[in-house]
Structure 1
Amino acid sequence: MLIVPEGLIAGLVSAEDAFAAVEAVFAAMSRGEAYNFDVVREALGEGRQYGFKSGLDRAGGQLGVKAGGYFPGNAAHGIINHQSTVFLFDPETGQPVAMVGGGLLTALRTAAASAISIDRLARRDARVLGMVGAGHQAGFQLRAAARVRDFERVIAWNLHPEMLDRLGAIAAELGLPFEAVPLERMVEADVIVTITSSPAASLLDRHVAPGTHLACMGTDTRGKQEVEPALLGRASVFADEIAQSVSIGEAQHAVAAGLLDATAITPLGDVITGRHPGRRSDDEITLFDGTGVGLQDLAVAAMAVRRAVERGQGSVVEI
């Protein structure tokens, strides 16, 4: 088994690599060539979350599982709140193939999924990017979004506004004017990315203008919530996987309130494969409920493993 530690990932997988890998996974899911297993997700108390995401991708030849979760007290220890490790197995024999550090990979694949939704669903003339959230993954989200649309400025809100400076610095690197705003001004945005760990809705229905595309990337557990359910009631809703969207994603709240039927949710992969046209008008609100599926983790981890083998990196151990 090859061990690829976290420290090697940045040199093995780029944001562009992650975009290609995740897009291929969405397409494979749409074609019925890949599927995720049931998610195991547990609350450990004090905001800590731990669980397993796994699946089988016949098209990509990947079988595996990501173990990890969210530990909000980690900042006090100088480490990131999201902690995870990906394990890959031979789909024919079940033998372990690799153990891969999953921290950076998780941020890259989450940002890639968001960017794919923006690329496929946002208006081509989108010029203002709104960011709700300024934690560790927000910077990845901002960079990924800027790769698929020619934004002219960024507006952002965070529960703890002092954290917005870091996001502003990334916007400056990208040459984009940046402004911290109250949530009411998100109505100016053409694309809004939410990336928080909120237990209650921050972004409300009245904060979103017609024609906006939203990538809701933070809700991945029962009880989490980033946006008001009424917003999903008037939007065209897309998801990485419908089952997860309804059970642990943003759609859980809208479905429970009777504002959204699960049958009205479209897999994003169907847009990629042409089964669904995507955005139908400039006034349509489109919303991507990105819960993060195990197949995404396997795809980016497999890419890291391939690169590590090619470059003679990582450590081989006998199990």
Structure 2
Amino acid sequence: MWVVPEKEIAGLMTPEAAFDAVEAVFASMASGDAYNFPVVREAIGHEDALYGFKGGFDRKGANLGLKAGGYWPNNQKHGLINHQSTVFLFDPDTGRVAAAVGGNLLTALRTAAASAVSIKHLAPAGAKVLGMIGAGHQSAFQMRAAAGVHGFEKVIGWNPHPEMLGRLADTAADLGLPFEAVDLDRLGAEADVIISITSAFDPLLMDGHVTGPTHIAAMGTDTKGKQELDPALIARARLFTDEVAQSLSIGEFQHAAAQKTISDSDVIAIGRVITGNHEGRGNAEVTIFDGTGVGLQDLAVAGAVVELARQQGKAIEVEI
């Protein structure tokens, strides 16, 4: 089997490569060539940790496996980040383990790639202003990925803790883009594309905030009760996601579904747009992509990084 350590990922996997891998696997899901397995996620009763598995099989990409890991909120005392994961790939022809890949940076890259895929396919024509809701660790990955697929001219941002907005300003500066901190009223009115990346359990972006043609990527933590967007905003938008069932159960669309203002048939798999089986934005004023994060995304970027690591001599081969 091949081992690609976490320390090697930054020098191997680029946002562009992550984008290509995620776009391809979304298309495979839509065409029936790939499917996700049921997610297991448990509080283990130790160190307040949440641990779980996400997996699947992509026949077209020949990726079979799972990502194991979760959230350890007390990791600071160990000098580690809170999110820890490893991706395991298996040979779909024999069942033998094929690779173990550090999954921490890959998770950040694949999450950002998913929102970038939605922006490429669903952003309104002539979009110039990118709005960012949230300024945590993932926000920088999100902004960089968005700027990589669309020519934004300005970034505006809001965060519940304003002292953290420096991360957005610094990232925008690195990208050569002006940045301005604004309130949510202005952000909803001025941004053509909005990325929401928070762990909120109450709506932040309200229906009345959003005016004019807008695309929203709701990328915050997905679990029972999570909520970043007003259900009334969701009810009037054209809705897209990575996996419909997951979006309606633990994703951004769960509350509108519970209120019965939307139904399963209102939510469209983004892969259908990629493959040309859905028109995408069409004449909709507001589109929303709910990125819930699926195991196939992890397998896609892990498979790509293993190939890069082998080509560059950075993969370690071990016998088991």
Report the Cα distance in structure 2 between the residues aligned to 1:119 and 1:150, rounded to whole angstroms: 11
Deviation at 1:77, TM superposition (A): 4.8
**One-letter amino acid of the counterpart of residue 2, structure 1:** W
The verdict on how the C-alpha distance between 1:79 and 1:162 changes in structure 2, with shifts beyond 3 A counting, is: farther
The verdict on how the C-alpha distance between 1:47 and 1:166 changes in structure 2, with shifts beyond 3 A counting, is: farther
Secondary structure of the residue aligned to 1:12 is coil
What is aligned with 1:105? 106
Deviation at 1:24, TM superposition (A): 0.5
**One-letter amino acid of the counterpart of residue 52, structure 1:** F
What is aligned with 1:170? 171
Q: Could you list the per-position Cα deviations for residues 142-197 of structure 1 after superposition, in whole angstroms to 9, with x for gaps in the alignment?
A: 01111122211111111211111011111011111111122222221110001111
Secondary structure of the residue aligned to 1:35 is strand
Q: Could you list the per-position Cα deviations for residues 248-269 of structure 1 after superposition, in whole angstroms to 9, with x for gaps in the alignment?
A: 1101111011111111100000
What is aligned with 2:40? 40
Alignment TM-score, normalising by the size of structure 2: 0.95
Deviation at 1:76, TM superposition (A): 5.8
Secondary structure of the residue aligned to 2:201 is coil
Matched, 1:205 2:210: no
Report the Cα distance in structure 1 between the residues aligned to 2:148 and 2:70, rounded to whole angstroms: 28
Matched, 1:140 2:163: no
Secondary structure of the residue aligned to 1:167 is helix
What is aligned with 2:66? 65
The verdict on how the C-alpha distance between 1:76 and 1:236 changes in structure 2, with shifts beyond 3 A counting, is: farther
Alignment TM-score, normalising by the size of structure 1: 0.95
What is aligned with 2:247? 245
> Unmatched 5+ residue regions in structure 1?
none
Deviation at 1:42, TM superposition (A): 2.6
Deviation at 1:47, TM superposition (A): 7.4
Matched, 1:6 2:6: yes
Matched, 1:233 2:208: no
The verdict on how the C-alpha distance between 1:82 and 1:237 changes in structure 2, with shifts beyond 3 A counting, is: same
The verdict on how the C-alpha distance between 1:257 and 1:112 changes in structure 2, with shifts beyond 3 A counting, is: same
Deviation at 1:315, TM superposition (A): 2.3
**One-letter amino acid of the counterpart of residue 203, structure 2:** A
Q: What do you get for the CA RMSD once the two structures are aligned?
A: 1.6
What is aligned with 2:91? 90
Report the Cα distance in structure 2 between the residues aligned to 1:303 and 1:204, rounded to whole angstroms: 38
**One-letter amino acid of the counterpart of residue 71, structure 1:** W
Query: Paired residue for 1:275, among 274, 277, 291?
Result: 277
Q: Could you list the per-position Cα deviations for residues 58-83 of structure 1 after superposition, in whole angstroms to 9, with x for gaps in the alignment?
A: 00001000112233444565433322
Report the Cα distance in structure 2 between the residues aligned to 1:223 and 1:212, rounded to whole angstroms: 25
Percent identical: 63
Alignment coverage as a number of residue pairs: 318
Report the Cα distance in structure 1 between the residues aligned to 2:72 and 2:229, rounded to whole angstroms: 22
**One-letter amino acid of the counterpart of residue 176, structure 1:** L
What is aligned with 1:27? 27
What is aligned with 1:286? 287
CA contact (8 A) 1:52 1:66 kept: yes
Report the Cα distance in structure 2 between the residues aligned to 1:114 and 1:236, rounded to whole angstroms: 16
Report the Cα distance in structure 1 between the residues aligned to 2:291 and 2:67, rounded to whole angstroms: 17
Report the Cα distance in structure 1 between the residues aligned to 2:12 and 2:236, rounded to whole angstroms: 41
Secondary structure of the residue aligned to 2:93 is coil
Report the Cα distance in structure 1 between the residues aligned to 2:79 and 2:135, rounded to whole angstroms: 17
Report the Cα distance in structure 2 between the residues aligned to 1:252 and 1:78, rounded to whole angstroms: 35
What is aligned with 1:114? 115
**One-letter amino acid of the counterpart of residue 280, structure 1:** G
Q: Could you list the per-position Cα deviations for residues 100-119 of structure 1 after superposition, in whole angstroms to 9, with x for gaps in the alignment?
A: 00111111111111001001
CA contact (8 A) 1:255 1:261 kept: yes
Report the Cα distance in structure 2 between the residues aligned to 1:75 and 1:112, rounded to whole angstroms: 27
After the TM superposition, which of the residue ranges 77-86 and 29-38 deviates more from structure 2? 77-86
